[in-house]
């Protein structure tokens, strides 16, 4: 996986997580913030940090809870002015060895058929590692407002022309020689 696909990587080896759990806090470097901005189509990422608690579970699974916080620069969809937005996303995921994923996904499907709250299927532990940076990146991208708006900005659609002939293509119609009589469209015969 390239840095462009995974701009913020913080791998944790599952075998090295103590039985009592592991707490990790980390902040994106300037290079990682620039890569996040490029990948996410943002003007800039001013700050990004994450805090996670990893708790080992039975059968090699790991419970990951935490938060991702970021301050991002975007452009207002109405005025195109630069604006900044805060992101604060909670994380609550289960990671499991890849061979357990199909069986656990079936359990999720069975739960979906009842009225119980549907849990998320587990994420795979890849090559014995969990990339907390990837988890943080995904949460950050999911927290981005796709239509950021500057406070007080209101979209006002352009007024429709009063004259039906007063539109952007009226000049082209004249150049083509179209007239209201429709003579140019009549077949010659």
pLDDT at residue 115 in the model: 54
The reply to whether 101 falls in a domain is yes
The reply to whether 34 falls in a domain is yes
Q: Which two tokens stand for residue 19?
A: 């039985």
The reply to whether 67 falls in a domain is yes
pLDDT at residue 84 in the model: 95
The reply to whether 2 falls in a domain is no
Q: Which two tokens stand for residue 114?
A: 């009842």
The reply to whether 105 falls in a domain is yes
The reply to whether 161 falls in a domain is no
Please tell me whether the overall predicted TM-score, pTM, comes out greater than 0.85 for this model. Answer: no
E strand or H helix at 13, and its extent?
A: strand 11-13
Question: What is the domain range of residue 71?
Answer: 11-142
Residue 127, classified by CB atoms within 10 Å of its CB into exposed (0-12), middle (13-18) or buried (19+), is exposed
Query: Percent helix, strand and coil across the chain, each rounded to 5?
Result: 30, 30, 40
The reply to whether 47 falls in a domain is yes
E strand or H helix at 17, and its extent?
A: none
SS3 143: coil
Low-confidence stretches of the chain (pLDDT < 50) are 1-4, 181-182, 184
pLDDT at residue 110 in the model: 55
pLDDT at residue 14 in the model: 96
The reply to whether 52 falls in a domain is yes
Count of domains for the chain = 1
CB count within 10 Å of CB 46 equals: 15
């Amino acid at each position: 996986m390239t840095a462009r696909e995974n701009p913020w990587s913080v791998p944790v080896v599952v075998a090295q997580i103590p039985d009592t759990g592991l707490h990790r806090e980390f902040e994106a470097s300037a290079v990682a913030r620039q890569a996040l901005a490029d990948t996410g189509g943002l003007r800039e990422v001013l700050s990004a940090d994450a805090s996670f608690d990893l708790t080992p579970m039975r059968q090699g699974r790991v419970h990951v809870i935490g938060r991702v916080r970021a301050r991002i620069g975007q452009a207002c969809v109405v005025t195109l002015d630069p604006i900044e937005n805060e992101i604060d996303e909670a994380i609550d995921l289960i990671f499991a060895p890849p061979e357990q994923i199909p069986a656990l996904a079936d359990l999720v499907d069975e739960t979906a058929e009842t009225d119980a709250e549907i849990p998320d299927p587990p994420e795979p532990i890849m090559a014995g590692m969990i990339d907390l940076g990837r988890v943080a990146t995904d949460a950050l991208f999911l927290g981005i407002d796709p239509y950021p708006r500057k406070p007080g900005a209101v979209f006002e659609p352009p007024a429709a022309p009063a004259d039906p002939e007063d539109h952007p293509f009226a000049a082209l119609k004249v150049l083509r020689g179209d007239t209201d009589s429709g003579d140019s469209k009549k077949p010659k015969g």
